[in-house]
């Protein structure tokens, strides 16, 4: 995390992050972006972060509340107003005001809440957190921060990364050069800011872009946690060059989208996809292979997947199959019984035998035995029918619609004439928004206790302690189904063990057996860590020391915090007398001149030690015709067009490399 960061969507004059007072200035007059010059203190030392507010004075108590609100927002919790005290009873001026954490107190009598409204899944956030602040009116008639406290699981239960993840990197300024050169420079800049940032770019002999892939360090960490399911889709086209955009998407512990990487491809060839998948493995680690990979029906992509991921389960997108099927249904398009039978073949059969019987009935009854499209679809049944994939983990998803929604989320702002640089900005905004939403879900899962549809039982209680809020609702639904089932022993030995793990959570049948035998906790063997509240604990613990090493020295941070407090008190003391104002202003002018002069000298010395480097010319991609949505739509309407011959800008005309860290 850089020392200078941008906080989007906030308009603040000053704030506190982890107890370090920071000043905030506007950037280029943009009302939505503010620059934060930040400092952080080490939480592991047990510092009482709120105490740096103590002693501050303002004209109104509302200003103290606003300052504390900004502090809590930066640190990672929320506050609310509570009691106040007046000098001599009702009608007299207020002399004290109290502000507390939103998690202060406890719900009702402290017992678990049983929800009677099944349509609401509200969570309980009151956990007796003791973080708070007391302000009082001093002898000078000003409001002063008297005491501040910090504590409670809702505060210390989070790592530093949770608290500051919403603070974003400084915007990259536009530089001279072409569109692709700007993008490569942006990626190089990101790599200098984030040592774990990875990108590969491939040019042809003319120096034009063929392929480009990138991912940051957090995407790599997310892949290590959630690599079991990978969704990849290339149906999206954007920018003026008609490049193919592909997004690698996964599912996190809140059952939400998480980004693993992004790519621009000039053509959809088997060689192109093999290059991409090999580069992706190089970035995230060749030892971690997905259990299930969801894609669309692209022959070149399928061949590349079989070559690079021979042991992964390749799954076809059911959404694409349904859309393609409509064009082949003919008069059956409006036949509801036929559609129901076709949908059952997709995901309604529980066994291969049931699927075979259903498919045979459908094709015989509707005369589809010799239909070429349905016969080809049948030959690929292991890739799309859920009955053939019960033994393979898929996080409970059936298609690459999540990748489709990713493309939609990134593309609704981009026009057909958008540059690759503009698209990169939209992509970064999308990833940032997803991570902010993930941080909020992570925070709520840790601090909140879910309401219960059923009376609290040991299994439910244990599930609420380990699973995220969303996954607890999935478990609770299975628990409800278990209460309506019966269990009986039909065989006690010499049986074949079958373990279905599509979702990775025990089903209602297992829950029923555990409940019958008074098992109070979910067995460890049935708990998939990727669904728990603690899925990212190791990531945060691993990143924190590295972040602390990259941040400014703690001594300098503490000095900054201390000096800002002293200067603020000095200004407050001097503001009402002209002579004292003059002393402060003179001191500020002299100190500012000396500091500026010294910094300029240091900058000149640094420039003299910098040697120029030779730049490589990077040209923008030319307009080209590739296989895309427009051609697919025309083929679907019966308009046959011959594909144009691929130009010489194909992927195999040049070398693949990562440019050295310099501007192009």
* Each residue's pLDDT tens digit, 50-92: 445 677 788 888 888 888 888 777 666 788 888 888 877 777 8
Burial grade of 394 (CB within 10 A; 0-12, 13-18, 19 or more):
buried
Q: Which residues pair with 201 in a beta bridge?
A: 212, 657
- What contacts 396, CB < 8 A, 6 or more positions away? 255, 474, 502, 503, 504
* Alpha carbon 498 to chain centroid, angstroms: 34
**659 DSSP 8-state letter:** P
Q: How confident is the model at residue 33 (pLDDT cuts 50, 70, 90)?
A: very low
Does the structure show a pLDDT above 80 at 388? yes
Integer Cα distance of 238 and 427 in angstroms: 12
Averaged over 129-153, what is the pLDDT? 76
* Each residue's pLDDT tens digit, 587-618: 888 888 888 888 888 888 776 665 544 455 56
Q: How confident is the model at residue 239 (pLDDT cuts 50, 70, 90)?
A: low
Using alpha carbons, list the distances in angstroms from residue 400 to 208, 258, 320, 403, 602: 31, 13, 9, 5, 54
Other beta carbons within 10 Å of 137:
18
Integer Cα distance of 468 and 528 in angstroms: 12
Integer Cα distance of 537 and 484 in angstroms: 36
Averaged over 362-390, what is the pLDDT? 91
Strand runs labelled E in 493-563: none
**271 DSSP 8-state letter:** H
Report percent pLDDT > 70 for the chain.
Answer: 68
* Each residue's pLDDT tens digit, 320-333: 888 888 888 888 88
Specify the range with the lowest mean pLDDT, choosing from 199-203, 454-458, 517-521: 454-458
Highest mean pLDDT, choosing among 151-160, 169-178, 424-433:
424-433
Q: Pick from 36, 39, 27: which is nearest to 5 by CA?
A: 36
* Each residue's pLDDT tens digit, 276-298: 999 999 999 888 899 999 988 78
Which H or E element spans position 318? helix 318-329
Q: How confident is the model at residue 228 (pLDDT cuts 50, 70, 90)?
A: very high
* Each residue's pLDDT tens digit, 97-123: 888 888 887 766 555 555 655 555 667
* Each residue's pLDDT tens digit, 524-555: 988 999 999 988 887 877 766 665 655 544 56
Does the structure show a pLDDT above 50 at 39? no
Q: Pick from 181, 179, 189: which is nearest to 2 by CA?
A: 189
* Each residue's pLDDT tens digit, 400-446: 666 666 666 655 555 666 778 888 888 888 899 899 899 889 888 88
State residue 517's pLDDT score: 87
Highest mean pLDDT, choosing among 135-139, 266-270, 303-307, 418-422:
303-307
Do residues 39 and 561 touch, judged by C-beta distance below 8 A? Answer: yes
Cα angle, residue 511 at apex, residues 392 and 290 outer, rounded to 5°: 20
Does the structure show a pLDDT above 60 at 480? yes
Integer Cα distance of 4 and 30 in angstroms: 16
State residue 617's pLDDT score: 58
Length of the chain measured in residues: 664
Does the structure show a pLDDT above 70 at 655? no
User: What is the token pair recorded at 399?
Assistant: 């298609």
**533 DSSP 8-state letter:** T
Average pLDDT, rounded, for the chain: 74
Report percent pLDDT > 90 for the chain.
Answer: 20
State residue 158's pLDDT score: 42
Using alpha carbons, list the distances in angstroms from residue 403 to 6, 308, 400, 511: 28, 20, 5, 33
State residue 466's pLDDT score: 92
Integer Cα distance of 340 and 524 in angstroms: 39
Do residues 201 and 250 touch, judged by C-beta distance below 8 A? Answer: no
Integer Cα distance of 187 and 216 in angstroms: 10
**525 DSSP 8-state letter:** G
- Strands 94-101 and 79-86, sheet pairing: antiparallel
Which of the two residues, 189 and 44, has the higher pLDDT score?
189
- What contacts 362, CB < 8 A, 6 or more positions away? 338, 341, 342, 345, 368
Integer Cα distance of 122 and 113 in angstroms: 10
Other beta carbons within 10 Å of 296:
21
Integer Cα distance of 450 and 123 in angstroms: 4
State residue 27's pLDDT score: 37
Specify the range with the lowest mean pLDDT, choosing from 66-75, 161-170, 262-271, 497-506: 161-170
Residue with tokens 């104002």, as numbered in its chain: 581
Averaged over 609-628, what is the pLDDT? 52
State residue 277's pLDDT score: 94
Highest mean pLDDT, choosing among 26-30, 80-84, 644-648:
80-84
Backbone angles phi, psi at 507, to 5 degrees: -85, 175
Q: Pick from 121, 118, 165: which is nearest to 471 by CA?
A: 121
Averaged over 295-305, what is the pLDDT? 87
Specify the range with the lowest mean pLDDT, choosing from 248-252, 438-442, 564-568, 635-639: 635-639
State residue 81's pLDDT score: 87
State residue 153's pLDDT score: 37
Does the structure show a pLDDT above 70 at 257? yes
Tell me the torsion sign for CA atoms 271, 277, 282, 283. positive
Do residues 270 and 303 touch, judged by C-beta distance below 8 A? Answer: yes
Q: What is the pTM of this model?
A: 0.61
Does the structure show a pLDDT above 50 at 625? no
């Amino acid at each position: 995390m850089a020392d200078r960061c941008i906080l989007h969507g906030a308009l603040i004059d000053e704030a506190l992050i982890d107890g370090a007072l920071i000043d905030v200035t506007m950037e280029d007059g943009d009302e939505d972006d503010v620059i934060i010059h930040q400092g952080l203190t080490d939480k592991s030392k047990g510092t009482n972060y709120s105490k740096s507010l103590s002693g501050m004075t303002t004209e109104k108590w509302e200003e103290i509340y606003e300052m504390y609100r900004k502090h809590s927002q930066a640190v990672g919790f929320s506050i609310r107003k509570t009691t106040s005290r007046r000098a001599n009873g009702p009608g007299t001026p207020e002399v004290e005001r109290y502000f507390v954490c939103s998690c202060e107190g406890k719900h009702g009598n402290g017992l678990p809440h049983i929800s009677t409204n099944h349509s609401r899944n509200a969570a309980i956030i009151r956990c007796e957190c003791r973080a708070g602040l007391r302000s009082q009116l001093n002898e000078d008639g000003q409001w002063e921060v008297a005491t501040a406290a910090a504590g409670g699981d809702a505060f210390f239960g989070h790592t530093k990364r949770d608290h500051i993840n919403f603070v974003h990197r400084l915007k990259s300024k536009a530089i001279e050069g072409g569109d692709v050169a700007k993008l490569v420079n942006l990626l190089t800049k990101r790599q200098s800011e984030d040592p774990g940032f990875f990108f590969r770019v491939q040019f042809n002999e003319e120096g034009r872009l063929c392929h480009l892939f990138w991912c940051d360090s957090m995407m790599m960490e997310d892949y290590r946690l959630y690599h079991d399911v990978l969704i990849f889709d290339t149906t999206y086209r954007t920018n003026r060059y008609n490049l193919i955009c592909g997004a690698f998407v996964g599912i996190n512990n809140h059952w939400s989208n998480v980004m693993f990487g992004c790519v621009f491809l000039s053509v959809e060839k088997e060689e192109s996809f093999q290059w991409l998948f090999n580069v992706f493995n190089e970035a995230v680690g060749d030892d971690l292979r997905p259990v299930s990979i969801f894609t669309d029906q692209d022959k070149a992509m399928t061949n590349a997947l079989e070559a690079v991921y021979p042991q992964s389960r390749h799954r076809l997108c059911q959404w694409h199959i349904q859309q393609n099927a409509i064009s082949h249904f003919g008069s059956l398009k409006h036949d509801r019984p036929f559609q129901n039978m076709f949908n059952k073949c997709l995901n309604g059969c529980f066994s291969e035998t049931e699927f075979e019987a259903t498919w045979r009935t459908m094709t015989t009854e509707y005369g589809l035995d010799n239909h070429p499209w349905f016969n080809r679809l049948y030959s690929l049944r292991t890739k799309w029918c859920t009955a053939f994939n019960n033994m393979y983990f898929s996080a409970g998803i059936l298609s690459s619609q999540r990748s489709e929604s990713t493309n939609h989320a990134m593309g609704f702002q981009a026009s057909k004439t958008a540059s690759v640089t503009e698209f990169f900005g939209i992509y970064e905004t999308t990833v940032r928004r997803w991570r902010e939403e993930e941080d909020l879900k992570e925070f709520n899962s840790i601090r909140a206790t879910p309401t219960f549809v059923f009376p609290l039982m040991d299994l439910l209680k244990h599930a609420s302690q380990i699973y995220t809020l969303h996954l607890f609702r999935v478990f609770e639904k299975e628990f409800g189904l278990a209460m309506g089932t019966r269990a009986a022993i039909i065989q006690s030995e010499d049986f074949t063990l079958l373990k279905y793990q599509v979702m990775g959570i025990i089903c209602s049948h297992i829950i029923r057996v555990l409940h019958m035998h008074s098992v109070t906790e979910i067995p460890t063997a049935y708990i998939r860590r990727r669904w728990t509240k603690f899925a990212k604990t190791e990531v945060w613990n691993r990143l924190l020391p590295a972040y602390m090493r990259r941040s400014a020295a703690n001594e300098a941070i503490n000095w900054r915090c201390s000096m800002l407090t002293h200067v603020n008190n000095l200004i407050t003391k001097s503001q009402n007398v002209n002579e004292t104002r003059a002393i402060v202003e003179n001191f500020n002018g002299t100190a500012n001149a000396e500091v500026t002069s010294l910094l300029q000298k240091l900058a000149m010395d640094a420039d003299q030690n910098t040697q120029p480097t030779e730049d490589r010319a990077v040209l923008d991609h030319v307009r080209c015709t590739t296989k895309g949505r427009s051609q697919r739509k025309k083929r679907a309407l019966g308009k046959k067009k011959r594909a144009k011959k691929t130009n010489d800008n194909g992927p195999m005309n040049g070398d693949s490399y990562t440019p050295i860290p310099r501007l192009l």
